[in-house]
Amino acid sequence: MTSPADRLADVAAFFDGARLTLGRQLAGLRKSDLAALIAMSPTAVAAWESGAKRPTAGTVARLALSLSVDPGFFAIRPDDVAALAATPHFRSLRSTSQLARNQAFAYGQLAVDIATSLEKHVECPEPDLPSVPVPVCDRHGDGPERAARHVRDTWGMGAGPAGHLVRLLENHGVLVVFSPPQTASVDAYSFDSRLRPVVVLNPVKRDYYRQRFDVAHELGHLVMHSDAEAGRRIEEQAHRFAAELLLPAAAIRGQLPATMGAAAWRTLARLKEQWGTSIQALLYRARALGVLSDVSYRNAMTTVTSRGWRRSEPGLVSVLEQPSLLPRAIELLAREDIDESRLVEQCRVPVDLFRTVTSRVPRHAPAEIGGRVTSLFR
């Protein structure tokens, strides 16, 4: 039987700097923060992460302790996750810190890592995502709308309301996971990886209609922006894509109210249930299509605000669309007597994070996170 000291020596020998970066980012730490925790210099941390130097067995133990992970977390794995993924698309760049974005992306990479491990045992739908690049400078063109119509045509979505959107993406090979409650300040995001495209959903919105818009928005990035730099314009394009995908102009134009009044609100409530989008998205669409004037739109949004609907709109569907790829894989493997602990060991991740990544539902948020970035290992 191997002693803990021998195991530490093994990990030190097979230490992977990229895993340290991943662990540090998941813990929400800067290099200097981690260096302070183990009383070493930031330069040393940088050298371990880049692979220029190798930490001793004792240092690996201190790193593991300070991040609250098993030392095995740092061991090299067949696939280098850091090299697996393309840069993600984050919204609200100004309101989210680099530290929070790094943490969120590290979580996304971990999800890919876990999916890679599970896919050794199970077969998931092949990625089958159309690529319709839309240049960032396409401000006055209809690139995003054409891209959305192309997806509708290619995936045989017909002209009417889009069904279960998360399942639609999964059936075309996209991995969809909820992010942990600690990263709730970061909106939904997406990125491509060598395994499959990934969409990470915000866990605290808990609104069926808004989540569908988020999913459509992220699909827009994956379809249109594989090489695009982040920025306001590509966010606008993803919004336009989502609007056309969920509310195709040809079908919705004649149904939207042209003026606001009691009857218009009833129409919007009906359309909301029919198309599975929020009233705010319908108003935005009505203005974008020129059905509703700017003045009427502003007045309507004032009403939305005064009714408290910006935070929570009334709606009939209270269940979120849930991901199924990884939870289904776990269920199938459990039937084959491959239980969770074996899978966790294989993935070498803390069990809580493993459960968050493979859950059908978002995990509950801790009482108070505030704006601080806190470790995902706790």
Which residues sit at the interface with another protein, rule CB under 8 A? 120-125, 158-161, 163-164, 167, 170-171, 208, 251-252, 254-255, 258-259, 262-263, 266-267, 270, 273-276, 316-317, 319-322, 324-325, 327-329, 332-333, 335-336
CB of 66 to another protein, least distance (A): 37
Residue (125 or 133) nearer to another protein, CB: 125
On whether the CB atoms of residues 215 and 151 are closer than 8 A, the answer is no
**Pairing mode, strands 198-201 and 189-191:** antiparallel
Three-state DSSP at 310 gives: coil
- Closest distance between another protein and the C-beta of residue 254, in Å? 4
Distance in Å, CB of 376 to another protein, minimum = 26
DSSP letter at 311 equals: T
Nearer to another protein, 183 or 190 (CB): 190
Minimum CB distance to another protein smaller for 87 or for 274: 274
Determine contact, residues 280/243, Cβ cutoff 8 Å. no
Question: Whose Cβ is closer to another protein: residue 27's or residue 260's?
Answer: 260
136: helix, coil or strand?
A: coil
CB of residue 111 vs another protein: minimum separation in angstroms?
15
CB of 304 to another protein, least distance (A): 20
Q: How far apart are CA 338 and CA 120, in angstroms?
A: 13
Q: Name the minimum Å distance from CB 336 to another protein.
A: 7
Q: Is the CB of 53 or the CB of 328 nearer to another protein?
A: 328
Closer to another protein by Cβ: residue 136 or 269: 269
Classified as helix, coil or strand, 360 is coil
Question: 3-state secondary structure string, 212-268?
Answer: HHHHHHHHHHHHHCCCCCCCHHHHHHHHHHHHHHHCCHHHHHHHCCCCCCHHHHHHH
- Residue 126 or 368 with smaller CB distance to another protein: 126
Beta-carbon contacts of 179 under 8 Å, excluding residues fewer than 6 positions away, are 104, 107, 186, 200, 201, 202, 203, 356
Name the CA dihedral angle for 155, 160, 163, 166, rounded to a multiple of 10 degrees: 50
Please choose, from the candidates 31, 321, 318, the residue with its C-alpha nearest in 3D space to the C-alpha of residue 199: 321
| Cα distance between residue 276 and residue 61, in whole Å | 50
Taking the complex as a whole, how short is the minimal distance between the CB of residue 243 and another protein, in angstroms? 17
**Residue whose CB is less far from another protein, 267 or 374:** 267
* Token pair listed for 103: 């943490």
Cα–Cα distance between 254 and 242 in angstroms, integer? 19
Rounded to a whole number of angstroms, the minimum distance from the CB of residue 124 to another protein is 5
